[in-house]
């Protein structure tokens, strides 16, 4: 009997029912779009933020041992140990290997061009690194720093003469694309380089010459060695737990910290894979990314919350108007012996039916909206996440029930005699 009454009620006043469904659909569409974007586009946002460059720096562990006399470090500037180039493949063998987006090694060699001191930096531009028998990872400066402005072309790692000249140094040397530069290293080696590109990075690289790593290693007599490695990794914004002292964590806490993609935990894993290395987060970059991701998360949560509150208010106003119109029906129903619980059940079942319909429609509309936004913003399509459908249905029921509480309470308080008299 109760379900028959609910079905007949749903068939009446269709315009108001459609308005309620529309309000729920719009609210759930925004929520579904936000959830889909968070699930499928979170990594894409992080990858877009990787244009900031490296957020981890790896140096020889021996550099952390100071050589001091009277509190003063007496090591010559630029002095230090080296890392084996062959160890770099281990970066793609750690637990969070898929979060390592790019990396590039650096070897710095002092030289001079026409009696002008310059720094020649050996590095990878676009190098194919064999990780194992089945995997080859392409990495280098072009992938590590996608925001760098290069006029001309990136040098080839297989070339013996290609070079990338910083824009400020190119001005001082009056160098142009295709020009040949003759340099001599402090070790006495002479070499010629051809300017394939002019780099503007906004950093110290604008005062350097960059050449293929193998070529610079040969000049310096440091075959197979690198001085520093910059790493770009997808990381989780740091919180208080991320900055915990690892030595004081319990077994369960350590496992949770180790299995979270914090910058510190990834650095810890790299140090385990390459014992001779010391890895430190570049906090300026990591903190900036963390703040951006946190603010995006807060913005998306506020947007979804606002949509749900608006939907609940719309349902409440429409349901309240329905209760006022149906006072006579409620009074007649209660005069025939219906309890307050039975009256409330009629309105709640009706609200749940509208919520389920609006939640389903909102899920599909939100998925379509997220797909379109991903194409416009990131240029890639996203897939449908069916796991969000139960969430949308549950939230839609919560919103409709929450919006119906006040109208249902008012309906239950209707006095039969007064309603029939009016």
Residue-averaged pLDDT of the chain: 81
Regarding predicted confidence, which is higher, 120 or 290?
120
**What confidence tens digit (pLDDT) does each residue in 275-326 have?**
999 998 886 555 565 566 667 777 778 888 888 888 888 888 877 777 777 7
- Rounded distance, CA 301 to CA 106, Å? 42
**What confidence tens digit (pLDDT) does each residue in 165-224 have?**
999 999 998 889 999 998 887 767 788 899 999 999 888 899 999 999 999 998 888 999
**What confidence tens digit (pLDDT) does each residue in 323-345 have?**
777 777 777 667 766 677 777 77
Model pTM?
0.64
Q: Which residues of 117-143 are buried (b: 16+ CB within 10 A; e: fewer)?
A: ebbbbbbbbebebeeeeeeebebbbbb
Structure tokens at 345: 């059940």
Structure tokens at 158: 């297989």
Domain layout of the chain by residue ranges = 2-45+290-421, 55-281
pLDDT score of 64 = 62
The alpha-carbon radius of gyration of the chain (Å, integer) is 33
pLDDT (average), residues 250-263: 89
* Partners of residue 102 on adjacent β-strands: 232
Rounded to a whole number, what is the largest CA-CA distance in the chain? 110
Query: Averaging pLDDT over each range in 5-19, 45-59, 61-75, which range is the top one?
Result: 45-59
Residue 164 predicted with pLDDT over 90: yes
Regarding predicted confidence, which is higher, 254 or 420?
254
Structure tokens at 239: 């919180």
- Rounded distance, CA 380 to CA 289, Å? 22
């Amino acid at each position: 009997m109760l379900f028959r009454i609910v079905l007949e009620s749903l068939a009446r006043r269709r315009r108001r029912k459609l308005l309620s469904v529309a309000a729920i659909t719009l609210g759930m569409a925004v929520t579904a779009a936000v959830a889909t974007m968070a699930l499928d586009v979170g990594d894409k946002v992080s990858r877009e933020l990787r244009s900031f460059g490296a957020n981890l720096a790896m140096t020889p562990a021996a550099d952390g041992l100071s050589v001091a006399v009277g509190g003063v470090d007496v090591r010559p500037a630029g002095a230090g140990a080296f890392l084996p180039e062959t160890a770099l493949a281990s970066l793609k063998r750690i637990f969070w290997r898929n979060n390592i987006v790019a990396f590039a090694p650096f070897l710095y060699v002092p030289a001079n061009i026409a009696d002008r001191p310059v720094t020649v930096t050996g590095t990878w531009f676009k190098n194919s690194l064999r990780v194992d028998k089945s995997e080859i990872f392409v990495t280098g400066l072009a992938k590590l720093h996608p925001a760098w402005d290069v006029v001309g072309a990136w040098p080839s790692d297989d070339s013996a003469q290609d070079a990338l000249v910083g824009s400020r140094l190119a001005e001082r040397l009056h160098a142009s694309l295709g020009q040949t530069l003759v340099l001599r290293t402090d070790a006495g080696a002479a070499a010629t380089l051809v300017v394939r590109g002019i780099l503007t990075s906004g950093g110290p690289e604008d005062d350097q010459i960059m050449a293929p790593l193998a070529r610079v290693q040969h000049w310096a007599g440091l075959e197979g060695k690198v001085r520093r490695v910059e790493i770009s990794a997808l990381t989780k914004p740091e919180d208080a737990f991320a900055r915990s002292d690892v030595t004081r964590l319990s077994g369960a806490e350590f496992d949770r910290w180790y299995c979270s993609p914090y910058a510190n935990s990834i650095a810890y894993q790299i140090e385990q894979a390459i014992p001779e290395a010391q890895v430190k987060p570049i906090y300026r970059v990591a903190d900036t990314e963390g703040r951006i991701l946190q603010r995006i998360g807060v913005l998306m949560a506020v947007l979804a919350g606002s949509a749900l509150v608006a939907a609940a208010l719309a349902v409440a106003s429409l349901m309240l108007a329905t209760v006022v119109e149906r006072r006579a029906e409620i009074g007649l129903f209660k005069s025939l012996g219906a309890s307050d619980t039975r009256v409330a059940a009629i309105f709640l079942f009706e609200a749940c039916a509208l919520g389920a319909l609006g939640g389903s429609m909102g899920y599909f509309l939100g998925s379509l909206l997220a797909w379109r936004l991903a194409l416009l913003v990131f240029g890639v399509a996203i897939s449908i996440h069916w796991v969000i459908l139960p969430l949308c249905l549950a939230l839609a029921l919560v919103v409709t029930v929450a919006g119906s509480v006040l109208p249902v309470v008012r309906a239950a308080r209707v006095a039969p005699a007064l309603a029939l008299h009016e």
